Structure 1
Amino acid sequence: MSCRILIVEDEIFVASEIEQVVAEMGHDPVGIAADKKSALRFAGDTEVALVDLNLRDGPTGIEIGKILAQTHGASVIFITANPAQLGTGVPGTIGVVSKPIAERDLRDVVDYAVARRAAAEANPPRRLKLFDWSNDNPIAT
């Protein structure tokens, strides 16, 4: 299954590498966004979003992820060097993986997000810290 994937990352070299991997996997990278305004411009076309926390306009990644997940129904995974900023997580989002991320781990995270979106059985990648929102009791697992 091919998905439309948004990359929310302000470091262009990192974003370009992620975009290349996503495309090689057969997915459609809908764009690279370095801030909230540009990220939300792509929101209607996004099925999966890979979101950094600290962007060109400041620490807006949490808000972007929340809007993409809760308002636009995107499957959101945060990719950040600062996972502690997420606390117990963001309602509606899947989880977080720490940067730097190796290509194999990135591929595993994308495969997992796509499988979750398709409601297919999938085991979370080892490096992905899942957010548990069952019973409205956030627990990072």
Structure 2
Amino acid sequence: MQQTSDLRVMIVEDQAILAMELELVLGDAGCDVVGCAMDRASAFEIAERERPMLALVDVNLLDGMTGPQIAHRLVSEYGTAVIFLTANPEQIPDGFAGALGAVSKPFDEQTIRAVVAFARRFILTRTVSDPPRRFRLAPWLTTPPADIAPH
């Protein structure tokens, strides 16, 4: 039985077949896919119109390595949680541009479902649960609070 659609998700991916696959997997996972973008301009157009709660963002898009810029703006201006999908994890900026983490391509349906469940928990509770397998958690989520950090 499909769960209710409580998560508005945007896909930012320039490989059309992969974007369609993600759309099917997300729909089956109970997500409401509000749009698919292949570049920075269309990503911001969709974000402005739809206000997604979560975005799956490739690092390299039709207009170059714009994924980190898209992620940063989605997080800072729209409060969107972002997960990078990339074949080149070394291209993710040090601070992950505010993204929750990254999944390396190629990935499977089980990984995407687990990552979306992780993101859903984070969005709803602002807590970090155990990250799914094959998911690289952003450093800003794993840094201990200042009061217990070594001096």
Same fold (TM > 0.5):
yes
Q: Which residue of 1 aligns with 2:91?
A: 85
Question: For the residues of structure 2 that align with 1:91 and 1:52, how far apart are their CA atoms?
Answer: 13
Q: Residue type of the partner of 1:101?
A: F
Q: Which residue of 2 aligns with 1:95?
A: 101
Following superposition, which runs of at least 4 residues in structure 1 exceed 3 angstroms of deviation?
none
- Find the partner of 1:5 among 3, 9, 18: 9
- Are 1:130 and 2:129 counterparts? no
- Find the partner of 1:21 among 20, 25, 28: 25
Question: For the residues of structure 2 that align with 1:92 and 1:59, how far apart are their CA atoms?
Answer: 16
Paired residues in the alignment total: 136
Question: For the residues of structure 2 that align with 1:89 and 1:83, how far apart are their CA atoms?
Answer: 13
Unaligned runs of 5+ in 2: 147-151
**What does 1:64-75 align with in structure 2 at a 5 Å threshold?**
64-75=70-81
Please give the per-residue CA displacement for 1:21-74, whole angstroms capped at 9, x wherever unaligned: 111111100010000000001214210000001111111001001110111100
- The structure where helix makes up a greater share of residues is 2
Q: After TM superposition, give the deviation of residue 87 of structure 1 in Å.
A: 4.0
Q: Residue type of the partner of 2:37?
A: A
Aligned sequence identity (%): 42
Q: Residue type of the partner of 2:114?
A: D
TM-score by length of 2: 0.84
TM-score by length of 1: 0.90
Question: For the residues of structure 1 that align with 2:82 and 2:60, how far apart are their CA atoms?
Answer: 16
Going from structure 1 to structure 2, the CA distance change for 1:35 and 1:102 (only over 3 Å counts) comes to same
State the superposition RMSD in angstroms: 1.7
Please give the per-residue CA displacement for 1:71-91, whole angstroms capped at 9, x wherever unaligned: 110000000000100142324
